[in-house]
C-alpha cells in the first residue's frame, strides 16, 4: 500500500516500466559502470530477513552473506527484468523469493523486514520519496537500509548540465541523472547513518536507519 497522502502516478509508472522492459536485454551492458566491489560492499551489510528493492537482472544476488541473511525477498516492477533475475536465482547463497512488485506500492505488512538493499534504483522510481517511505514502512523499527546510488553532482556547471541532459536520459532509459537521493532518503523519514562517495561525488554508498 502506498504512503497515506501520496498516490502512485499510474501513467508515469507505466511509461518507465515499458522503458525497462524494452531495455532489459541491454541492461547488463548498460550497468557495467557499477563495479562488483561496490555491490559487494553494500549487499554484504544486509542482515536477517532482507528486502531488495529493484532487483533488476539479479546482479546483486550472488553477494548475500548466508552467515548474516536468513531469507531474501527481491522485487522489481519490470517483468522483463525480473525474468532475467530468475535466471540468476541459483547463484544466490540464501533462500530467495522473486516478486513482481512496484516499490511505490508494496504488498507487505508494516515492519516485515530487518534490512533492505537498493542499488541504482532510486534514479528511476517515478516518485522516489514515495518508494523510500514504503521501504521505511516495511522495515522493522530501527531496521537498516543500504543504498548504492548515483546522484546529482552539486557543482554549478556539472549540476546544471545534468539537469539539462536529464530529459534525454529519462526518455531513452527511464533513468534520472539528477536525483538528490540523500535528500530524498531524509525526506522519507530515515536517519542517515553514513554517507560515502565511492566514485567522486557521482556515486554514493548510503546507510540509513528507519
Q: Which of 145, 124, 123 is nearest to 134 (CA)?
A: 145
The answer to whether 191 and 208 have CB atoms below 8 angstroms apart is yes
CA 130 – CA 75 distance, rounded (Å): 16
Report domain extents, the chain: 10-209
Q: Tens digits of per-residue pLDDT, 12-66?
A: 999 999 989 998 888 887 777 788 999 999 999 999 999 999 999 999 999 999 9
- Does the pLDDT value for residue 128 go beyond 80? yes
Average pLDDT over residues 2-12: 76
Residue 12 has phi, psi (to 5 degrees) of: -65, -40
What DSSP designation does 52 have? E
Cβ-based neighbour number of residue 105 at 10 Å: 17
CA 117 – CA 123 distance, rounded (Å): 14
pLDDT of residue 139: 98
CA 127 – CA 132 distance, rounded (Å): 9
Q: Tens digits of per-residue pLDDT, 87-126?
A: 999 999 999 999 999 999 999 999 999 999 999 999 999 9
pLDDT of residue 136: 98
Length of the chain: 210
Q: Which of 198, 208, 209, 1 is nearest to 102 (CA)?
A: 1
> Which of 29-33, 135-139, 189-193 is the least confident region?
29-33
The cell numbers describing 16, all together, are 518507465
The pTM for the full model equals: 0.92
Antiparallel, parallel or unpaired: β 203-209 and 113-119:
unpaired
> Looking at domain 10-209, does it have CATH number 3.30.43.10?
no
pLDDT of residue 1: 59
CA 121 – CA 42 distance, rounded (Å): 13
Cβ-based neighbour number of residue 205 at 10 Å: 19
Please give the C-alpha separations between residue 168 and each of 89, 100, 132, 150, in angstroms, as whole numbers: 33, 27, 25, 17
Amino acid at each position: 500500500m502506498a504512503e497515506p497522502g501520496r498516490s502512485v502516478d499510474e501513467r508515469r509508472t507505466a511509461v518507465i516500466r515499458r522503458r525497462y522492459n524494452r531495455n532489459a536485454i541491454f541492461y547488463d551492458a548498460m550497468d557495467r559502470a557499477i563495479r562488483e566491489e561496490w555491490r559487494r560492499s553494500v549487499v554484504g551489510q544486509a542482515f536477517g530477513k532482507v528486502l531488495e528493492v529493484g532487483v533488476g537482472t539479479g546482479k546483486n544476488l550472488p553477494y548475500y552473506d548466508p552467515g548474516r541473511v536468513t531469507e531474501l525477498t527481491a522485487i522489481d516492477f519490470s517483468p522483463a527484468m525480473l525474468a532475467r533475475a530468475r535466471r540468476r536465482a541459483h547463484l544466490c547463497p540464501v533462500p530467495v523469493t522473486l516478486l513482481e512488485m512496484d516499490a511505490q506500492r508494496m504488498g507487505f505488512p508494516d515492519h516485515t523486514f530487518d534490512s533492505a538493499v537498493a542499488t541504482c534504483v532510486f534514479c528511476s522510481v517515478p516518485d522516489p520519496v514515495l518508494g523510500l517511505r514504503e521501504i521505511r514502512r516495511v522495515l522493522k523499527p530501527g531496521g537498516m537500509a543500504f543504498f548504492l546510488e548515483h546522484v546529482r553532482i552539486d557543482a554549478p556547471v556539472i549540476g546544471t548540465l545534468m539537469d539539462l541532459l536529464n530529459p534525454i536520459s529519462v526518455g531513452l532509459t527511464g533513468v534520472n541523472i539528477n536525483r538528490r537521493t540523500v535528500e530524498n532518503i531524509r525526506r522519507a523519514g530515515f536517519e542517515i547513518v553514513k554517507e560515502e562517495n565511492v566514485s567522486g561525488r557521482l556515486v554514493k554508498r548510503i546507510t540509513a536507519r528507519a
